[in-house]
Structure 1
Amino acid sequence: MNKELQELLSSPTADVPDVGRICYGLSRNGSYDAAKRGDIPTIKVGRLLKVPTAALRKQLGLEVAA
């Protein structure tokens, strides 16, 4: 696991464009399109769309920290 991915997964939530770029090699628009389709797990926090890193870890096949 590279350093950028470790930093991304170290907080409870992450930004959609960052997840798309780091995990899937997507552009900003591609990341939001993937989130809209449900390919990237998201939650709404007010007006913001965030990616819960626990769900992302599960999707990527990484162990969820206890």
Structure 2
Amino acid sequence: MNADIEKILAAPTVDAKTAGALLGMGESATYKALQRGDIPAIRIGSVYRVPSATLRRMLDLAPSKAA
């Protein structure tokens, strides 16, 4: 596995832009998917945070060793 992806997904959550990049999506498509609920996220005001565990499942990656 790419060490950069592991480092990113070591945090409990990632921002919307990072989540979209990991999923191979552009910014506009990412925010539309977040608003529709296609990407499960935590919303605080206008800020979306995507749980790393969710991204791991979506990308079919092994759970974090830190978990």
State TM-score, norm by structure 2: 0.75
Structure 1 vs Structure 2: percent identity of aligned residues? 38
Q: Which residue of 2 aligns with 1:7?
A: 7
5+ residue gaps, structure 1, are none
Q: What are the superposed Cα offsets for residues 4-43 of structure 1, whole Å, 9 maximum, x if unpaired? A: 322220100001111111x222111111112122222201
Give the alignment of 1:27-42 within 5 angstroms: 27-42=26-41
Structure 2: segments with no counterpart, 5+ residues: none
Listed as ranges, the matches of 1:1-66 within 5 Å are: 1-21=1-21, 23-65=22-64, 66=67
Name the TM-score, length of structure 1 as normaliser.
Answer: 0.75
Equivalenced residue count is 65
Q: Displacement, 1:46?
A: 4.4
My pick for the range that moved more, 51-60 or 8-17, is 51-60
